[in-house]
Structure 1
Amino acid sequence: MKKITVLKTVLIMLAIMLVSCNDNYEPTPVAIKDVNGNYKAKQIVSQGNTGTERINEFTAKDSVITFKDFPVKEIVQAVVKNPVKVETALAEMGKIEYKLNYTSKLNLNNNTVELTFLPKSLNLKIPVDGTMKNTVVILAGKQKGYFVGQDWSLRFGVIAEKIMVDGAAISPFEIIKYDFPYCLKN
């Protein structure tokens, strides 16, 4: 008797759930200007088998994403090598601002704005033993980014594919990935 009562209860609950489902999903319309705003982002920086996660903030406005504190620790480690000197150099350098250019295109089928990145090189002066290492980081946007209308989030990534120090490329060098898988507007 208990089995039949439980079975009836489960079937009734299932019927209620099916009746209450709404198949009239209406996507939230997006516009290119919706990308503009201040974001709080999950940032994953990885190189080879190692990676770090943290929360970072940036602003998107008029086809430019501006980071007030772009992550450069892995870049400095590639140049300096000595862990103690890396921390000293990072402290002396302070926060690094970086502007990432993009073009945008509306994708009405997916209710998204597609971003194509046009990164400029990042020029750094890294202090090491009383001298400055002129460092140029070649960044690339290999994948499109997306502003998603459903949850008003932005998702993108770029890579550092080459580092030049005083005109010479660091070799061997393993690319550094900068992934921002989930960025929410503040």
Structure 2
Amino acid sequence: MKSVFGKMFGAFVLTAVATPALAHTGGAAGGLSSGLFHPILGTDHLLAMAAVGVWSAAQPAKQAWRGPVLFIGVLAVGALIGVSGLPLPMVEPGILASVVILGLMIATARVLPAGAGLAAISVFALFHGHAHGTEAVGALAGYMAGFMIASAALHAAGFGLGRLAGELKHGHAGVGLAISGAGLLLAGG
């Protein structure tokens, strides 16, 4: 089991590092297919969404749903703020910080109070949503539905990874530190 998990995680990290560093290039995006693929093709978004799922898997079972549901709700609010043209300072640095900090939250999931984790998740969701909203053009409803569906799917994939990691002695710490390391690589350019 450990060997399979290690290979799966190694492939995940290599894939994440090999894709374009940032999903938010400042270009325009619209329509359902663009919304569905945008979060998956951007390493920063992919890692952050997976991290929310992994963090949630490390929470007590009755509370595991809170992180992803909160993220999707605040993601929508952030997107609406972005679409409206209201500025939000430090969006790209906040998105990069989300990957690093979410990874550290996973590594310390049993120590960090859930309320603090959920507060951080909501701030990061606002940044991610704002970035998506500022890029939205054309078929706005389809685009927003697409990136929210893709984000939820990435949360679910991360949750599955988190459940697998939870079966290993230091699995969550390893996954969390790997995600933080990938975030630092992204931040370093």
TM norm. shorter chain > 0.5 = no
Greater strand proportion? 1
Greater helix proportion? 2
Higher gyration radius (CA): 1
TM-score range, shorter chain: under 0.3
